[in-house]
């Protein structure tokens, strides 16, 4: 082996050793990049597309709108499901401490497929179709969500502290778990209050 061949062999061996020495460092860098926080954003906005001016004092047969949205930051494509639910002051909300959804049945649902970093948003339109007042309570019988009618038969007592008959519309976020091959509650929900006091039958 002459001197020039020796130099080439030495350079190749040195390059291989340098690459082998940098593998742990490169692995650390790439693991930091792939280890970014994984989460889903979930929101409901008022009719002016801001975090205020939500419908509150609602009347029968009037149409109201909010914006509901999801952003996928989970690192892969996900199949999301959004449940829309309705409750009075005493019925259960989701349990954040135990990652459990509300036991109330969903009235309406959205199915959305989102790639990583993709956003979905929609207008949710609702109205209270029938409600009655009996003494110190109200009974909401039927509501409409995106032109679909649902029977809720939910009663609320007069809230003396806040002067109203209060209900809450809330949305839960679920996603399809490919391991269990079923939808799983994502431990995220958004909600807004409704006061139903005017022109009851």
Q: Which residues have C-beta within 8 Å of that of residue 193, sequence separation ≥ 6?
A: 54, 56, 166, 167, 168
Domain boundaries, the chain: 1-35, 39-198
- For residue 165, the Cα-to-chain-centroid distance in whole angstroms is 26
Stated pTM of the model: 0.80
106-142 residue pLDDT tens: 999 999 999 999 999 999 999 999 999 988 999 999 9
Alpha-carbon gap, residue 99 to 163, rounded angstroms: 32
CATH 1.10.274.10 at 39-198, yes or no = no
pLDDT digits (tens, 9 = 90+) for 17-46: 444 343 343 333 333 444 578 999 999 999
CA distances from 136 to 3, 83, 159 (A): 102, 31, 9
Mean pLDDT value across the chain: 86
pLDDT > 70 fraction of the chain, expressed in percent and rounded: 81
- What pLDDT does 197 receive? 80
């Amino acid at each position: 082996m002459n001197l020039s061949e020796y130099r080439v062999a030495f350079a190749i061996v040195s390059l291989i050793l340098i690459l082998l020495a940098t593998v742990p460092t490169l692995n650390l860098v790439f693991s930091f990049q792939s280890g970014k926080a994984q989460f889903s954003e979930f929101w409901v906005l008022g009719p002016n597309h801001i975090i205020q001016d939500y419908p509150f004092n609602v009347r029968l047969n009037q149409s109201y709108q909010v914006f509901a949205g999801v952003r996928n930051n989970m690192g892969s494509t996900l199949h999301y499901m959004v449940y829309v639910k309705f409750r009075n002051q005493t019925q259960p909300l989701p349990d954040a401490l135990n990652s459990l959804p509300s036991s109330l049945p969903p009235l309406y649902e959205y199915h959305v497929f989102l790639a990583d970093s993709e956003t979905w948003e929609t207008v949710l339109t609702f109205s209270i179709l029938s409600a009655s007042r009996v003494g110190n309570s109200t009974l909401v019988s039927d509501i409409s969500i995106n032109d679909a009618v649902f029977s809720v038969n939910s009663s609320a007592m007069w809230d003396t502290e806040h002067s109203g008959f209060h209900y809450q519309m809330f949305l839960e976020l679920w996603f399809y778990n490919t391991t269990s091959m079923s939808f799983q509650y994502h431990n995220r929900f958004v909600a807004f209050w409704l006061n139903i006091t005017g022109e009851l039958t």
